[in-house]
Amino acid sequence: MDIKLNFINNSNDANNSQIVIFQKNVATTFDELAVAWRVIQYCGQGDNHPFTFPMQMAVSASDSYGNFTPQLPAQNGQLFNMTLTTSGDRLALAGSGTSSSEVQVLNALPRGSINANIYKGGALLATKTSISPQQKAVFQFKPTIWIGVASQVVQGQVMNSAIVSSVNTELSLLGIASADIVMTGGGPGRDSSPFTFRLENVVMG
């Protein structure tokens, strides 16, 4: 079931701030750079911005020659292999991976590195670059989203670490069918309060 979300700007922000929403790949141990999955722009005070958070994921890969594979439906526990066929590089489902909570992509090419990408709702959610032959990319996501105020972020692009570390609101979507995400705070001058985001009008699935 896709989750219906509605962002509501009840803040005092007058700077036309961007709101960035993303997920973190928790399968990696080091600080991996996150992708701006969705960026809400020019949503004025009192305005709202409805969007859908899909449960379904898709996976795609690109090779060192600049070729991109089609997006394939992906579920946790699945392993995908990038192999060399008579018609060129091909990404295909290869059965079960080593973890039921991860999507795994193996570079089974004889040579050349690949990039692996995860999509939600057609938008890039996470990426793993420069995977060498016989190396594997692993993706695992908690049922949460990260949301915050940012500037100069572009939807579908990797964010710099300063932006990612400045976003500290994690909202759990576990079991939720629909909810409002209400932003408050902000404003001019030194008396302004920090931006806060909270779920309201939550309907459980």
Single-letter amino acid code for the residue at 43? C
pLDDT digits (tens, 9 = 90+) for 46-93: 999 999 999 999 999 999 999 999 999 999 999 999 999 999 999 999
Domain layout of the chain by residue ranges = 3-54+142-204, 57-139
- Provide the pLDDT for residue 13: 86
Range 3-25 average pLDDT: 94
Answer for the pair 4, 204: CB distance below 8 angstroms, yes or no. Answer: no
Q: What confidence tier does 191 reach under pLDDT thresholds 50, 70, 90?
A: confident
pLDDT at 189: 77
